Structures are given as C-alpha cells and as structure tokens.
C-alpha cells in the first residue's frame, strides 16, 4: 500500500460534511512518470492545478499546490526547490531534474538494443564462445 494514493474521508466543520483528503505518493529516483500523473490528478482534485498552469505567485491555490508538492518529494529535493516562490517553478524544477535522467536511460536502452540486434553468431564460432 505504500506509494499509493489513499483516499480518506474526514469531517470538515467549515463545509458541514465530509471532505476528502489525498495522501500523495512519494517521489523517488525511478517513479517520476507515475508520480507526475498522480500528482497532477491530486492537484486537480484539490482545485489547485491552475496555480501550476498559470504560475500563480500568491494566494491559497499556490500555497496548497506548494504544500502538496513538498509533502510528496524527498527532503534532499525539498532543500533544492524550497526557495522557489511558485508551485509552477517547483513543478518545473522537479520535471527538469527527472526527465533528463529519463532521456539518458532511454538513449542507453536504444544503444543496447541496437548492439543486441547486431549480435550474430559466426558460422565457424562455437556456441560456448558466442554465449560468452
């Protein structure tokens, strides 16, 4: 269950009824794509995605978006993005940091796949030598 988005129902006296809160998935070095999709939905549920799209610099929407983002990233990353003043800047900094790593992985995978495709056993080569 860890890493999943969990819906919890709480009573909210301001609204006179139940409201939902969402526990956000923690970002790590391997789950950026899934994390970004889940965070986008969580931000939309909390009606603060516009703060990221429009780069709101003040107000409750920016603060709520910042709070949701900062609760779902590791402390080391918080220290890197904590001084940024808008949720959009935080979102973009996280995206830039992780999509660069994804591109490197993707390029390495393509290189390995092309090397694998070129790999052929010679007619005179023993199976054990080729396997090695």
Predicted pLDDT of residue 100:
74
Total tally of structural domains belonging to the chain: 1
Instruction: Please indicate whether residue 30 or residue 64 has the higher confidence score (pLDDT).
Output: 64
Domain of residue 31 covers 6-118
Question: Torsions phi, psi of 98, nearest 5?
Answer: -90, -30
Residue 63 lies in a domain: yes
Non-local CB neighbours of 1 within 8 Å, separated by 6+ positions? none
Q: Is the pLDDT of residue 114 over 80?
A: yes
Query: Residue 130: inside a domain, yes or no?
Result: no
At residue 101, the pLDDT reads 67
Residue 42 has pLDDT above 90, yes or no: yes
Rounded to whole angstroms, the Cα distance separating 51 from 31 reads: 23
Average of pLDDT values for 90-119? Answer: 83
Q: pLDDT at position 18, please?
A: 45
Mean pLDDT of 99-128: 81
Is residue 53 within 8 A of residue 61, CB to CB? The reply is no
Q: Is residue 127 part of a domain?
A: no
pLDDT digits (tens, 9 = 90+) for 43-98: 999 999 999 988 766 788 999 999 999 999 999 999 999 899 899 999 999 998 88
pLDDT in tens, 1-10: 445 544 444 4
Give the contacts of 44 (CB within 8 A, at least 6 positions apart). Answer: none
Q: Is residue 23 part of a domain?
A: yes
Whether 56 contacts 49, CB under 8 Å: no
- Tally the C-alpha atoms within 13 A of residue 39's C-alpha that lie toward its C-beta: 26
Domain-located, residue 20 = yes
pTM of the model: 0.61
Quote the CA–CA distance of 5 and 25 in Å, as a whole number: 6
């Amino acid at each position: 269950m860890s890493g999943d988005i969990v819906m919890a129902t709480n009573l909210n006296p301001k609204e006179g009824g139940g409201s939902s809160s969402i526990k956000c998935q923690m970002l790590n070095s391997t789950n950026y794509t899934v994390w970004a999709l889940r965070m986008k939905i969580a931000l939309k549920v909390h009606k603060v995605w516009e703060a990221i799209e429009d780069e709101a610099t003040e107000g409750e929407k920016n603060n709520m978006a910042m709070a949701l983002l900062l609760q779902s990233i590791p402390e080391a990353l918080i220290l890197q993005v904590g001084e940024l003043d808008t949720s959009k800047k935080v979102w973009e900094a996280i995206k830039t940091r992780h999509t660069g790593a994804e591109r490197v992985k993707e390029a390495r995978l393509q290189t390995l796949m092309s090397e694998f495709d070129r790999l052929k056993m010679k007619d005179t080569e023993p199976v054990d030598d080729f396997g090695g």
